[in-house]
Structure 1
Amino acid sequence: MKNWNTLLIGFFLFTLVLVGMTLPSLRVDAAPNQQGFVTATPGPDGRILYTVVEGDNCFTVAAKHAITVDQLRQFNTRLDENCTIIPGQQLIVGLAAPVTAPTAPATATPTPAAAAPTPFDGTTEVCVLLFNDINGDALRQSDELGIDGGAVSLTNINGSYSQTQTTTSAIDPDLLEPVRSCFTKVPPGRYNISMAVPDGYNPTMSLTYTLEVKAGDRASVDFGAQAKTVTLQDPAVEQNSGRSPVLGIVGLFLLLGGLGLGYFAYRSNQPQSKLKGSPLMKR
């Protein structure tokens, strides 16, 4: 009985050893089957690619990636009617978002403090020019500069503001333009501008002007005057022969009259023939 128990225990231990030796071989044999399917991963362009292995067909590939055969055909438009695939062929089995390179986090740029605005006093500026209107066309040309000695006044129509300045012929060296007489810090409103030209000039346009200015505006008004000594250029007399055509005609008539008188005198002094009226003249 004791030997029987020993035999059973030995058989049990032998069986355990045999089973233990068999399990590693089973695991080694199962490894190739597990490596037959490789999980597809998205590429940089977002396409999920699968490489066909031996024994694959459209149904097994679609099943491996949880899609339908129709979806597989939509991803791979070059498949034929029989959905023929060969080992090594790459198939698109899905689409994912394209892989983008990581970007550096945006850093906050400190905003420079805004410059304090210039206080606005709510006034305006009116500048006036009296220019030498050389050609008298009431339009200022680039070569028509300012006139000294004119008097310009700016008066509000309600009488709340009135100032007077003198015009000048100075030139701004930076702008190369005539210097204007400017009234600064003028309150908004409606104003009359009056100009008095200096002696020796005649105005070429109206010497009064009315304008309305608003806060912040800068108005500019021009007046023209022409020197009294400026005269229109006399038309040049054509000097071809130095003689008047009327005198030539009169001389021609006198010449013809003289010739006629000479011819008449010549005929009067000729002797008459004594044979006139005789029978010899009648033939």
Structure 2
Amino acid sequence: MQFGRKSGQRSRQFLLRRALLAALWLSVLLIAGLPAFAQDNLLTNPGLEEPFTGRGRGDLNIPSGWNLWVANAPQTEVWMNLTPTGYPHRTEPEYREGSVSLNLSKGFGTFTAAIYQQVSVPEDADVRASAYAWLHTCGDPGEEPTEGCESSGGSGASVRIGIDPDGGTDPNSSSIVWSSPMSPHDTWGQVTVDASASGSAVTVFLYGGQTAPRAFNNMYWDEALLVVGGEGGTAGDGGSAPPPPAEAPAVVAQNAQEDGSVIHTVVAGDTIDSIAVAYGLTRQQIMDLNGISDPRIIQIGQQIIIVPPEEETSGTNFDEEGEVFEGDVPEDATQEPVPTSTPAPAAPVAAAAVDVVDPASDAAAVCVLLFNDSNRNRIQEQGEDLLSGGTLTLNSATVQMGEYATDGVSEPHCFGGLTAGDYMALAAAPSGYGLTTTDQLLVQVRPGASINVVFGAAE
């Protein structure tokens, strides 16, 4: 009996040891079978949650832990490559996790922007990044916008995610591995990319943009991820780099007819503002001449009166001083009236028209000012005075042409002696103020011309 009891105990111990070994082996198999990227998220604030931090103005905010890049050129149309607004979005379905998503938007315009984050990773590690995006773009600029309109691809909007294996911060770098573009209209879509770090740091870019303006132009981001693992890869293995921002063709001015009139026939890509620039008129002058109440609504083939027949051209002569009211339409789609007692001011979002062309001289000038945009509508109106304490700069493609500190009295300040070509005008707001307009503008200068550029800022 004693022998039997000992034998039974040994049998039970043997079975117990086998069960423990089997459980241990099963756990090893389960761990080995887990995806290599089932690890901790390496991003700071991957859920894009609050607090959000300002980026130079009150209506541009992004989640803490992230940085922002915005394309500001080319800007051959007033709606092109504008700086978006950025806010936390708090209502479903346009957020996935936590309490908010990031909403970037620009009504009646386009933007190209990326938020990015540099992250430390194990040396030369394979990494995988992903994020969710939602697009809502609708309402043709020539139509009355309607809340709740169905998002569509007419804006050319798309998103993608990229990893710079070198840890750089330029989204135009050729070393970035990009996902394929995606256009998730009115739904959440996940973009994913794998890359191999070239050192101990990588940069993740959440990138998106559009090619055509829409009344409602919204991009949402949420639930980003960066983990060690995935299949790795280099720039040659991933998607192609994002295309450069779209550039619209310049308007070609048309010659006078036999009766002395000048008539412009609208072609694809024309806007009231681009037509005004081409002929040296203001937006309001063209609207008044043609009975146009909404500057967003013109049709291909429409004939726009530039100079009426048998009429003196003192108000529209190309050698007369004039300014172009040119800018993106406010998001409430309401056209601000232009005071009748003073000439129409230059809009702060784009360059004004060519003033005087001196055939005897090719020297040109860019004249800049900064005003107190107290109502934040980006239009300088009566009572909105010049601002002191700001900085206005003009750069060519290679060098800085000059820098000027505003005094609020003697502006506009002109950077003179310029040759024809492209220049970038930049503005920095005074202490305690934020820019209400774009902070930089591409200016195309013609020989002998003077161009006005107006920036606005508010407390």
Give the TM-score, by structure 2 length: 0.21
Pair member with larger Rg: 1
